[in-house]
Chain A
Amino acid sequence: MLASQILAETFARAGFWVQSFPEFKAERRGAPISAFLRWDETSRIHRRYKVQECDVLVVVSPAPPSPEILGTVRPGGLIVLNREPRFPHTGPFDIARVPASRIALENDILSSEGRPMGNVAVLGACVRLLVPDGLAFLEEAVAARMSGAMADANVVAAREGYARCAKQHAVAGDTPVELSPGPEHASARRRSRPLFAVSTTDSRGNHTGTWSLDRPVLTDECTACAVCALFCPEGVISKNDGSMVVDYLYCKGCGICEVVCPVRNAIAMEPVSA
């Protein structure tokens, strides 16, 4: 959300009209979300509805985008990825990569949980591809929305992202991406809607584990004292046959278990790989 606001401010400083908005579902604060940006050279933007298809897809998260998300890109569009290795997909769009997480690590731009925050480096790449004269505006926007050492480090990250983004060319063996599903999907869903607002499943179907960026991993040092189970706000740690088990389907990655654990090295938070 902050990234889309900084990009909006960059466009505004470059003289465009902008509109940027996040899409929230039931996530807690800190969970990854989608945000949208419209920009216009000539006039105020009056479109007050959702973005269904996009010209540019920016993936800040280091996890690769799902086929559904890739399918929202219009033919002729652009996809910007926070990624070092090739993205082994192809379609009627351009793909650009920027090693944003690495740039964040190099500049010590870390979240409170110690995760590299590559968002501004990704914005550096976006500005290079969308408003090539706009790097100074991005630097100003970063300075306006952040302060102190954080702002300084992110200005460097913006420049690095600008310098280190590259478009990739399709090669044999890339998997083609399917374009967005047609409106018939929506009508199929409509037909099955119940009369009362009562879910036909219980909330176990809501896998809140998908919100997490990190997950606790227990080691042999664990004494199975179950203190973590007591404090876990989701109640997803249990003792099974004398050892502790975490149900990652519902673990929200808050890290409270790691903090309360009285035993050194018994539990560590590790990034969730996609």
Chain B
Amino acid sequence: MSQTLPHGRVVLTSNDAAAHAVMLARVRAIGCYPITPQTLIVERLAELVAGRDDIEYANLESEHSMFGYVIAAARAGVRTFTATSSQGLLYAHEQLHRASRERVPLVVVDVNRAVFAPWSIEPDLTDSMSQRDTGWIQLYCSSAQEVLDSVLCAYRIAETAMLPVMVCAEGFLLSHTSEVLELPDQDTVDAFIPEFHAPADWLLDPDTPSTFSAMPEPNDYYAFQRNVAAAMDDARGIVEAVASEFTSHFGREKIAALELTGNPDADTALVAIGTIADSAQELVDGNDDLLVIRVHTYRPFPAAELSAALARASYVSIIDRAAAFGSLGPLGADVRSLELGHAKAAVNFVCGLGGADVTPATLRWAVKQTRSSGVQGGLAPIYVPEGV
């Protein structure tokens, strides 16, 4: 069990940080199904919820049912939480599409784990990145502090945008790693996250019988999808506003879309996501010609912010920890979709799948390849050889 340390500092894993954030956010319904490396979140929540009759903690028989449970609970006007990893998220895939299209403000933590086959419990981002088109806002974390802060922000973002938010944290590299962080007190969080008030015509209310998501005319179906797209676009501003309010409210910087480290005018830029981008900060030490860009909000994709950040870079290395066989990596494809005409090279690398170690040496290798490639990028990513 964790305890508060002097100066508000605590030592927690990202799994513990997520569980604490959920409690601080005054969640009322928690759907659970264990899967490594997420299991410790729901175990910690079970301990924290024990003896409280104002929170329903439900063990479901699968992740598919678990998402069905939190969707239904949210529609009853209740703030919810669930967490999963890898196969669990994939098993719930169709519920993910449903949640965004039904405009359900879920908050879910995906503790990233490689996907089968072969079996692995180690981290990579293929599980959540392969869900990027399901209409969820996705936030990728690089520390336990950011997991805690992002879960708190996620409730604000979800309930304002009426879209689900997935907070992603790499297994073991974050989930089981204990680090120092600031844990806010309940009053401070209460002042930041108001009660959940869903739109009345959206709520499931037995006194006003209604039918949800029945089969509309094609043009109506189409219009509903356009609404989701518009909500996603609006979410950019919401993510930004919530982060800046968080920063002033808690006195601690909350990254919105991107975190930039190093020289913003550098000729060389490295774009990465999750913990790889945190390790990349080491490359900036003593190197004046490098800008490290960490993508925190991956959906909605921060295209404008990235274009601005990359405006002066001639050589861009884009690092994916996810596979998208037959195309560029997910982040690579997204960054390459930007207007990068001024860049001499924008090369996409894939590395770190299934927990393969990604060290500063790996990243230096990628940067060197980009600078010496002399090509605009290529149609496929470069899979970094094992052990580099």
Contacts and interface: CB of A to CB of B under 8 A. Distances in A.
Given A47-B279, A48-B275, A49-B357, A21 B172 contact: yes
Interface residues of B, number: 32
B358 interface: yes
Given A48-B142, A49-B357, A187-B387, A5 B11 contact: yes
A8 B276 CA distance: 22
B117 to A, nearest CB: 6
A147 B172 CA distance: 26
B278 A20 contact: no
A263 interface: no
A12 B179 CA distance: 9
B344 interface: no
Contact of B9 (A5, A12, A21, A47): A12
A223 B48 CA distance: 48
A202 B5 CA distance: 50
A12 B1 CA distance: 16
B173 A48 contact: yes
A19 B279 contact: no
Given A5-B11, A47-B279, A49-B279, A20 B5 contact: no
A17 B180 contact: yes
B9 to A, nearest CB: 6
A50 B282 CA distance: 15
A186 interface: yes
B3 interface: yes
Interface in B117-173: 117-118, 121, 142-143, 170, 172-173
A26 B5 CA distance: 34
A13 B6 contact: yes
Nearest to B284: A46
Contact of B178 (A13, A21, A46): A21
B253 to A, nearest CB: 12
Contact of B359 (A4, A23, A49, A183): A49
A130 interface: no
Interface string B54-95: 000000000000000000000000000000000000000000
Given A20-B178, A47-B282, A13 B5 contact: yes
B386 A46 contact: no
Contact of B282 (A44, A46, A145): A46
A204 interface: no
Contacts, number: 79
Contacts of A4: 178
Contact of A48 (B1, B118, B176, B278): B278
A197 B180 contact: no
A19, A46, A48: most-surrounded residue (chain B CB, <10 A): A48
A225 interface: no
B6 A48 contact: no
Contacts of B170: 48
B357 A144 contact: no
B178 A144 contact: no
A23 B112 CA distance: 16
Interface string B276-300: 1011011000000000000000000
B2 interface: yes
A231 interface: no
B177 interface: yes
Contacts of B281: 46
A137 to B, nearest CB: 10
Given A8-B178, A44-B143, A49-B359, A144 B279 contact: no
Interface string A177-190: 00000010011001
A23 B174 CA distance: 12
A23 B171 CA distance: 11
Interface of B: 1-3, 5-6, 9, 11, 117-118, 121, 142-143, 170, 172-174, 176-180, 275-276, 278-279, 281-282, 357-359, 386-387
5 contacts: A12-B11, A12-B180, A47-B282, A48-B278, A187-B387
Given A190-B387, A197-B117, 8 more contacts: A4-B178, A8-B178, A9-B11, A9-B178, A21-B172, A21-B173, A48-B173, A183-B387
Q: Which 3 A-B pairs have the closest CB atoms?
A: A48-B275, A144-B3, A197-B118
